[in-house]
Amino acid sequence: MRKPAKLILAASAVAMVLGTMLTPVSAGAADAENGKKLAEDRKKGNCTSCHAYKGANMPGNAGPPLVAMKARYPDKKKLRAQIADPTKANPNSFMPPFGKHNILSGKDIDDIAEWVHTL
Protein backbone atom coordinates (compact mmCIF):
# COMPACT_ATOMS: atom_id res chain seq x y z
CA MET A 1 0.00 0.00 0.00
CA ARG A 2 2.89 2.39 0.61
CA LYS A 3 4.23 2.29 -2.92
CA PRO A 4 1.00 3.53 -4.54
CA ALA A 5 0.72 6.26 -1.91
CA LYS A 6 4.28 7.40 -2.64
CA LEU A 7 3.54 7.25 -6.35
CA ILE A 8 0.42 9.38 -5.92
CA LEU A 9 2.34 11.86 -3.79
CA ALA A 10 5.15 12.04 -6.36
CA ALA A 11 2.66 12.45 -9.21
CA SER A 12 0.91 15.23 -7.28
CA ALA A 13 4.20 17.04 -6.74
CA VAL A 14 5.07 16.78 -10.45
CA ALA A 15 1.61 18.04 -11.41
CA MET A 16 1.97 20.98 -9.03
CA VAL A 17 5.37 21.93 -10.47
CA LEU A 18 4.14 21.60 -14.05
CA GLY A 19 1.04 23.59 -13.17
CA THR A 20 3.11 26.49 -11.91
CA MET A 21 5.31 26.35 -14.99
CA LEU A 22 2.22 26.59 -17.21
CA THR A 23 0.67 29.46 -15.27
CA PRO A 24 0.59 32.66 -17.36
CA VAL A 25 3.41 35.04 -16.54
CA SER A 26 1.07 37.96 -16.03
CA ALA A 27 -0.93 36.24 -13.29
CA GLY A 28 -1.35 38.67 -10.42
CA ALA A 29 -1.75 42.40 -10.35
CA ALA A 30 0.88 44.56 -11.99
CA ASP A 31 2.75 46.89 -9.64
CA ALA A 32 3.40 50.38 -11.02
CA GLU A 33 5.72 51.33 -8.15
CA ASN A 34 7.92 48.30 -8.83
CA GLY A 35 7.72 49.08 -12.55
CA LYS A 36 9.23 52.53 -11.94
CA LYS A 37 12.05 50.99 -9.92
CA LEU A 38 12.74 48.45 -12.67
CA ALA A 39 12.59 51.12 -15.39
CA GLU A 40 15.18 53.21 -13.56
CA ASP A 41 17.43 50.27 -12.65
CA ARG A 42 20.50 50.31 -14.89
CA LYS A 43 20.74 46.50 -14.71
CA LYS A 44 17.09 45.97 -15.65
CA GLY A 45 14.95 48.30 -17.76
CA ASN A 46 17.32 51.26 -17.89
CA CYS A 47 14.57 53.25 -19.63
CA THR A 48 16.11 56.61 -18.67
CA SER A 49 19.10 55.99 -20.89
CA CYS A 50 16.85 56.62 -23.92
CA HIS A 51 13.58 58.13 -22.67
CA ALA A 52 12.69 61.34 -20.88
CA TYR A 53 9.73 61.53 -18.52
CA LYS A 54 8.65 63.76 -15.67
CA GLY A 55 11.03 63.29 -12.75
CA ALA A 56 13.67 61.35 -14.72
CA ASN A 57 17.24 61.84 -13.53
CA MET A 58 19.53 62.67 -16.48
CA PRO A 59 17.23 61.21 -19.15
CA GLY A 60 18.34 60.35 -22.65
CA ASN A 61 16.70 61.55 -25.82
CA ALA A 62 17.26 58.68 -28.28
CA GLY A 63 13.74 57.34 -27.70
CA PRO A 64 10.46 59.23 -27.61
CA PRO A 65 9.52 60.99 -24.37
CA LEU A 66 7.20 59.01 -22.14
CA VAL A 67 4.32 61.47 -21.93
CA ALA A 68 0.57 61.05 -22.46
CA MET A 69 1.04 57.29 -22.52
CA LYS A 70 -2.64 56.49 -21.84
CA ALA A 71 -3.58 58.58 -24.87
CA ARG A 72 -0.86 57.03 -27.03
CA TYR A 73 -1.58 53.48 -25.83
CA PRO A 74 -5.21 53.25 -24.71
CA ASP A 75 -4.85 49.46 -24.88
CA LYS A 76 -2.32 48.56 -22.18
CA LYS A 77 -1.72 45.20 -23.88
CA LYS A 78 -0.24 47.00 -26.90
CA LEU A 79 2.04 49.01 -24.63
CA ARG A 80 3.16 45.81 -22.93
CA ALA A 81 3.81 44.20 -26.32
CA GLN A 82 5.88 47.23 -27.35
CA ILE A 83 8.07 46.87 -24.26
CA ALA A 84 8.34 43.09 -24.61
CA ASP A 85 9.34 43.15 -28.29
CA PRO A 86 9.32 46.46 -30.16
CA THR A 87 10.74 44.76 -33.26
CA LYS A 88 7.32 43.21 -33.95
CA ALA A 89 5.83 46.65 -34.67
CA ASN A 90 9.06 48.07 -36.12
CA PRO A 91 11.78 45.63 -37.23
CA ASN A 92 14.27 48.53 -37.30
CA SER A 93 13.67 49.55 -33.69
CA PHE A 94 16.82 49.87 -31.62
CA MET A 95 14.88 49.45 -28.38
CA PRO A 96 15.92 46.13 -26.84
CA PRO A 97 13.30 43.36 -27.06
CA PHE A 98 13.21 42.91 -23.28
CA GLY A 99 10.92 39.89 -23.35
CA LYS A 100 12.24 38.11 -26.42
CA HIS A 101 15.81 38.27 -25.14
CA ASN A 102 14.82 37.47 -21.54
CA ILE A 103 16.26 40.74 -20.29
CA LEU A 104 13.15 41.16 -18.13
CA SER A 105 10.67 38.60 -16.85
CA GLY A 106 7.05 38.73 -17.90
CA LYS A 107 6.11 40.06 -14.46
CA ASP A 108 8.77 42.79 -14.76
CA ILE A 109 7.35 43.81 -18.15
CA ASP A 110 3.83 43.85 -16.69
CA ASP A 111 5.01 46.13 -13.89
CA ILE A 112 6.87 48.50 -16.22
CA ALA A 113 3.89 48.69 -18.58
CA GLU A 114 1.65 49.47 -15.61
CA TRP A 115 3.96 52.31 -14.55
CA VAL A 116 4.49 53.70 -18.06
CA HIS A 117 0.72 53.73 -18.55
CA THR A 118 0.48 56.19 -15.63
CA LEU A 119 2.74 58.75 -17.36
DSSP track, 22-80: HS-TT-S---HHHHHHHHH-TTTT-GGGT---TT-SS---SS----SHHHH-SSHHHHH
pTM above 0.85, yes or no: no
Q: What is the pLDDT of residue 26?
A: 47
Q: Does domain 30-116 have CATH number 1.10.760.10?
A: yes
pLDDT at 116 over 70: yes
- Domain positions in the chain: 30-116
Taking only the tens place, the pLDDT of each residue in 47-101 is 999 999 999 988 999 999 999 999 999 999 999 999 999 999 999 999 999 999 9
